[in-house]
Amino acid sequence: NAGVTQTPKFRILKIGQSMTLQCTQDMNHNYMYWYRQDPGMGLKLIYYSVGAGITDKGEVPNGYNVSRSTTEDFPLRLELAAPSQTSVYFCASSSTGWGEQFFGPGTRLTVL
């Protein structure tokens, strides 16, 4: 099993551009999450999903959108990128609503 994979690893965007961060898991987990980590801080939840077709906001959802059309994939969309979205983005998944979360390697995004 590859676990949780994320692409790309690094990306530089210009202000106002848009992009999609990809996240895929091969563990058949129902629950998936997007977190962001700003320099020197802990992670904060952006969006999460409890199953295909179901998504909900986390603590810091502004400026982002998500979709969950399959169990495996949970892409995160940035529209109109802003410097405040410069961060490292982590995707995670878990099999249950209380179980261990497994994290991907992260995507380092810089908006200039």
Partner 1 sequence: GIQVEQSPPDLILQEGANSTLRCNFSDSVNNLQWFHQNPWGQLINLFYIPSGTKQNGRLSATTVATERYSLLYISSSQTTDSGVYFCAVAAIKAAGNKLTFGGGTRVLVKP
Give the interface with partner 1 as residue ranges (CB under 8 A): 31, 33, 35, 41-45, 48, 50, 56, 58-59, 88, 90, 92, 94, 96-103, 105-106, 108
When the beta carbons of 59 and 79 are compared against partner 1, the nearer one is 59
Q: What is the C-alpha to C-alpha distance for residues 93 and 112, in angstroms, rounded to an integer?
A: 30
When the beta carbons of 17 and 30 are compared against partner 1, the nearer one is 30
Helix (H, G, I), strand (E, B) or coil at 84: helix
Name the E strands within the chain. 4-7, 10-13, 19-25, 31-37, 43-51, 54-57, 64-66, 76-78, 87-94, 102-103, 107-111
Name the minimum Å distance from CB 83 to partner 1: 20
When the beta carbons of 13 and 33 are compared against partner 1, the nearer one is 33
Q: What is the C-alpha to C-alpha distance for residues 29 and 52, in angstroms, rounded to an integer?
A: 10
Name the minimum Å distance from CB 112 to partner 1: 20
Name the minimum Å distance from CB 81 to partner 1: 21
Name the minimum Å distance from CB 76 to partner 1: 16
When the beta carbons of 17 and 108 are compared against partner 1, the nearer one is 108
Helix (H, G, I), strand (E, B) or coil at 85: helix
